[in-house]
Structure 1
């Protein structure tokens, strides 16, 4: 079953540099169907859904490890096997010296019109990844961006408007 966030909800989480959860807000716990005790200290990928292309996570990690923010559409899996879509904004958290000390993510409810584009794209990326790995998934994404004449960021922002 797919769950939906409320229009004005924000899911917030923080992780350490290894991706282990150090903070989750109440809405995260509610949507993920976990308690705080079940989440803290666990890898953030505890909510990874099998319908999520690995290519998107590679892009996400490449960007945030370079201290660049990223917006991405993500389907998450709940403790009870349900799913929910988000538009995530993920950034690196740094100390006074500029060293990455963790990551911060805020997720909102995505527009239905955006998901109408993302769902078939992700399905195509997953299919490509099964036969050709992440490089094949990247090719599917890059071909779409080239066809539309936009960068990844321009595409993601434009479909959420």
Structure 2
């Protein structure tokens, strides 16, 4: 996948949906998701979901995401993804665990939509800070920085993510 600095926009009425197995391999995706990624047919099925992970994303965001969903908690996050042509797009993602009738996790379900542009004015510089901390001091440094920012704002991670979408 080549690097392309062109941004794609998620349509405001679109929902990008994907389901994965417990290992993070895509088992379902809807047409809007496949289209923004630039996939044809079933090119995404069976692939690891991180095939669309953009290198500008701080790992701490995915650590939080996985901690939530593995504990059967719903999580919201702003995510920068990349398309097959190397372009990128931002989404406001809602991720939940899919459970069987016994309450056991059988996979994960994600619905993404267009993020509030005002939220990205906060998220983009925040993620740059987190990524820089991660490059210099690893995941611990990024985690500590995020914790201090949340403390300073007197908000939980959930509150920050959801309040930004409502700006």
What TM bracket, shorter-length normalisation?
over 0.9
Q: Which moved more, 1:40-49 or 1:138-147?
A: 138-147
Structure 1: 5+ residue stretches without partners: none
Q: Distance in 2 between matches of 1:142 and 1:69?
A: 20
Conserved? CA contact 1:11–1:108, under 8 Å: yes
How far did residue 37 of structure 1 move?
2.1
Instruction: Give the number of aligned pairs.
Output: 161
Flag as ranges the 4+ runs of structure 1 deviating above 4 A: none
Q: 5 Å matches for 1:103-118?
A: 103-118=108-123
Match of 2:27, SS state, is: strand
Q: 5 Å matches for 1:133-148?
A: 133-148=138-153
Q: Distance in 2 between matches of 1:149 and 1:135?
A: 21
Q: Which residue in 1 is equivalent to 2:35? A: 30
Q: Distance in 2 between matches of 1:137 and 1:145?
A: 12
Q: Deviations over 1:75-101 (max 9, x none)?
A: 000000000000000000000111100
Q: Which residue in 2 is equivalent to 1:92? A: 97
Q: Deviations over 1:15-49 (max 9, x none)?
A: 00000000000000111111242100000000000
Q: Which moved more, 1:34-43 or 1:20-29?
A: 34-43
The answer to whether structure 1 residue 52 and structure 2 residue 48 are counterparts is no
Structure 2: 5+ residue stretches without partners: 1-5
Match of 2:43, SS state, is: helix
RMSD: 0.6
Conserved? CA contact 1:24–1:36, under 8 Å: no
Q: Which residue in 2 is equivalent to 1:128? A: 133
Q: Which residue in 2 is equivalent to 1:63? A: 68
How far did residue 132 of structure 1 move?
1.0
